Every structure is written in structure tokens, then in C-alpha cells.
Amino acid sequence: MQLVAEFLKNVSFCQDLNEAARSKLAELLISKKISAGAVIFREFDDSDCLYIVRSGRIIISKHVQDQVDIVLTRFHTGDFFGEMGLFDTSPRSATAQTETDSVLLRLDRKAFQQIFSDEPEIAARICYRLVTVFIERLRATNDQAREAIRWGLEATGFSLAPEHSLFGRRST
């Protein structure tokens, strides 16, 4: 448990927590080994927990068509994902799958709610950090959306370049 608490130092949403708070949080985490290629959760699955990557690499993707997904991002050691599941009961918005053999730490929504009721100060510190990460991820998503639109525009010959002036002759 001490090792997990020590590891949490590297996790962004735990950076404002002191040692005692990290130890308390570590007690609530469930460790899970997953082999490469395994699906952690699928898009539209029920969501009720957050995952922290203890080791390995996770790939997050969203279904496009048939067997093809678009890769949204990758998570590495110290990153976390599935945070929407802590606050929201809506289905998962993307699929998470291991790219390599990985170890994950799971924080259930119930456990998180317990922190809120028992240790509101710790919960507030975690939430503050989570919001910062949400903002970063939202910005990244915006960039990706813009790229995808540009990709589509280029593919169909559209260009956002200034309008081409048409040929013509005005006799004066």
C-alpha cells in the first residue's frame, strides 16, 4: 500500500495531496493486471470508475465504422482515464484497450463519494486538479476536431484559403 501511495505522487490529480491523504486514497484503489490487447471498457459500457495507469500503455479510441476506430489518445504510466465515470452515470464515451501488458489502479465512484463525505478537503484538492486536466483534454479535443475537419475539407478539395477570384473582363 505504501508503494501505491508513493506512486500516487506522480499522478497529476494527487499532486496537491500530502502523504497521509495519498495513503488514504491508496487504500481505496484496486490494482488490476491486464494483458496487451485486452479491452478495459467499451464505448457505451456503464461507467462507474476511474483508472490510473501504474504501468503499460492504454489506447483510447472511438468507433467510426465497421472494425475501424479513430484513436483519440494514449495513456502512459502516471496518467489516468475514465474520470467522467466518477461524476457522470452516462455510458462510456470511448473504448479503452491496452496496447501493452499493463497494471491499472481502479477508483470506484462509490469510493470517491466516500472521500467526499469523509474527507471533503482531500476531495476538493482532487477535484481542483481534475478540472485542470479536464480543461487540458478539452483543448486537445478541440485541436483534434479542427484537424479532423481540415482533413475532411482537404480530402474533398475544399480549402479555407481566401476565395479565388474568378476570371472575367469588365470593359470600361
| Residue 38 touching other proteins (CB under 8 A) | yes
Q: Which is nearer to other proteins, 46 or 154 (CB)?
A: 154
| Residue 33 touching other proteins (CB under 8 A) | no
Alpha-carbon distance of 123 to 100, in angstroms, equals 32
Exactly one of 71, 124, 131, 135 binds other proteins (CB under 8 A); that residue is: 71
| Residue 140 touching other proteins (CB under 8 A) | no
What DSSP line would sit under 6-43, residue for residue? HHGGGSGGGTT--HHHHHHHHHH-EEEEE-TT-EEE-T
Closest CB 102 distance from other proteins, rounded Å? 13
84 in Cβ contact with 141 (< 8 Å)? no
| Residue 37 touching other proteins (CB under 8 A) | yes
Stretch that binds other proteins, among 13-21, 81-89, 127-135, 148-156 (CB under 8 A): 148-156
Distance in Å from the first CA to the final CA of the chain: 87
